[in-house]
Amino acid sequence: MFSFTSGWWTLLRAARPARSFSGRTIAVGAIADIKLKRRELVLTFDDGPMPQLTEDILKALDDAGVKATFMMIGAQASAHPALVRAVAEKGHTIGSHTQHHVNLRAVDPISAKAEIDKGRDSVATSLEPTRYRAAPLFRFPYLADTALLRAQLAKGDIVVLDVDISIGDENDLSPHQLYRQAMRRILRRGSGVVLMHDIHARTVAMLPKLLADLRARGFTIAHLVPAAALLAPMSAMSS
Ligand SMILES: [Zn+2]
């Protein structure tokens, strides 16, 4: 009798759906729309796409069943348009990160605007043959913003995607050191937009374990998508 009962109990427990790692979809029309709850993260990957490494990142995200946002460099997108499309086809969101990863604080406002516009155009052009479109999300290289550029972007209905947690994968760490640093920084902050890069082998190497352990700790991964109103014209910055 005891084993009968415990057998049913085991069955019931097994039938209960596992807690989902894939969290909310957040429609973003302004930076203020990104209000994350405790243990809620947004994954972002900057500076790609990069052959092989971006593909490996896509596989890790697929295996974990979560969606991310890729902030692409225009020159990289133009060099690897098929990879831009592969990211879109997997259901991830694509924003831009200038044409050449320029520190926009170090150049004049006209050149800065040209860098931003060119980067957006390159990403958009890579997606043109498909039904996918880039999101009007922008991230400043080196997070080096200016008030003037922020105002210009806002006027053009482009959302600046800021960073709450940088895992620091631009530093020369082993995958294990990077995993520990990333986990420490995420746990300390508790929620937020996480900055990673899809151009480093160490990030690829530790990502599956990072995702598995975040899931085990009860985190969920929110997916940013552009608010419908922002998706209409793509040439917002040019006015
Ligand atoms: Zn960058």
pLDDT at 231: 60
pLDDT at 228: 76
pLDDT at 205: 98
Q: C-alpha 11: how far from its chain's center?
A: 38
Residue 233: which pLDDT band, with cuts at 50, 70 and 90? very low
Residue 235: which pLDDT band, with cuts at 50, 70 and 90? very low
Query: Domain range spanning residue 127?
Result: 21-227
User: How many domains does the chain divide into?
Assistant: 1
pLDDT at 1: 44
Per-residue pLDDT at 22 exceeds 60? yes
Length of the chain as a residue count: 239
The per-residue pLDDT of the chain, averaged, comes to 91
Cα distances (Å, whole numbers) of residue 54 to 1, 12, 61, 80, 199: 54, 40, 11, 11, 7
Has residue 69 been placed in a domain?
yes
Phi and psi (nearest 5°) for 103?
-75, 105
d(CA 73, CA 119): 6
> CB of 217 within 8 A of CB of 223?
no
d(CA 61, CA 92): 10
> How close is the Cα of 195 to the center of ligand 1, in Å?
9
Has residue 117 been placed in a domain?
yes
pLDDT at 206: 98
> How close is the Cα of 20 to the center of ligand 1, in Å?
30
In a 3-state reduction of DSSP, which class is residue 66? coil
pTM value is 0.89
Has residue 7 been placed in a domain?
no
> How close is the Cα of 56 to the center of ligand 1, in Å?
19
Rounded mean pLDDT of 91-113?
97
> How close is the Cα of 218 to the center of ligand 1, in Å?
29
> How close is the Cα of 103 to the center of ligand 1, in Å?
9
Dmax (CA) for the chain in angstroms is 80
List the CATH number of the domain containing 36.
Answer: 3.20.20.370
d(CA 47, CA 67): 17
Has residue 4 been placed in a domain?
no
Strand-pair partners of 70? 45, 94
Has residue 109 been placed in a domain?
yes
> How close is the Cα of 46 to the center of ligand 1, in Å?
5
> How close is the Cα of 149 to the center of ligand 1, in Å?
17
Structure tokens at 18: 């596992």
pLDDT at 31: 87
Q: C-alpha 75: how far from its chain's center?
A: 18
Strand-pair partners of 225? 27
Residue 156: which pLDDT band, with cuts at 50, 70 and 90? very high
Per-residue pLDDT at 229 exceeds 90? no
How far apart are the two ends of the chain, measured CA to CA in Å? Answer: 77
Strand-pair partners of 192? 41
Q: Using one digit for the tens of pLDDT, what is the confidence trace for 111-133? A: 999 999 999 999 999 999 999 99
Per-residue pLDDT at 18 exceeds 60? no
Has residue 48 been placed in a domain?
yes
> How close is the Cα of 9 to the center of ligand 1, in Å?
51
Has residue 2 been placed in a domain?
no
> How close is the Cα of 131 to the center of ligand 1, in Å?
27
Has residue 5 been placed in a domain?
no
> How close is the Cα of 38 to the center of ligand 1, in Å?
26
Q: Using one digit for the tens of pLDDT, what is the confidence trace for 158-204? A: 999 999 999 999 999 999 999 999 999 999 999 999 999 999 999 99
Q: C-alpha 86: how far from its chain's center?
A: 15
In this predicted model, which residue has the larger pLDDT, 229 or 56? 56
